[in-house]
Amino acid sequence: MTEPGAVSSGAGEGDWASLVVANTSGSIRVRTTNQGLPLAVKVEAAELHRDSAQLAGEVLRLCQKAANRAGLALRKQLEEAGLDAAGLARTGLPTEADVARQEIVEEQDYDTEPQSWLRSV
């Protein structure tokens, strides 16, 4: 589908694009619409042993990441088509800075959190 932590686009129904986003380990992959609605979820067997709320939270986070990336791509398309800055601002679509900031927050909140406070001695 895609490499761990990456985002890729693919063909969807009609003119709608779909995005594939994977977590950093690549064990969870989500294909979504350009609005972040899940079309397919692929979860490796080892992930199914996690707490169901944590797993659901990870899938939701990946869907939101895809939606942000899709919004940014749409914003760039509108900019290339000649929409002025005021028009772009009214769309509410995220900027590159918005997406980068959100992804940094996500990394700090999810990717670096220990699953257990136990450590080997």
The string of pLDDT tens digits covering residues 14-73 is: 334 678 999 988 999 999 887 889 999 999 999 999 999 999 999 999 999 998 998 898
Answer whether 59's CB lies under 8 Å from 93's CB: no
The answer to whether the pTM exceeds 0.95 is: no
Looking at per-residue confidence, does 111 or 75 come out higher? 75
Query: What are the strands, taking DSSP E only, across the chain?
Result: 7-11, 17-22, 28-33, 38-43
> Which of 115, 118, 65, 68 is CA-nearest to residue 93?
68
DSSP string, 96-109: HHHHHHHHHHHIII
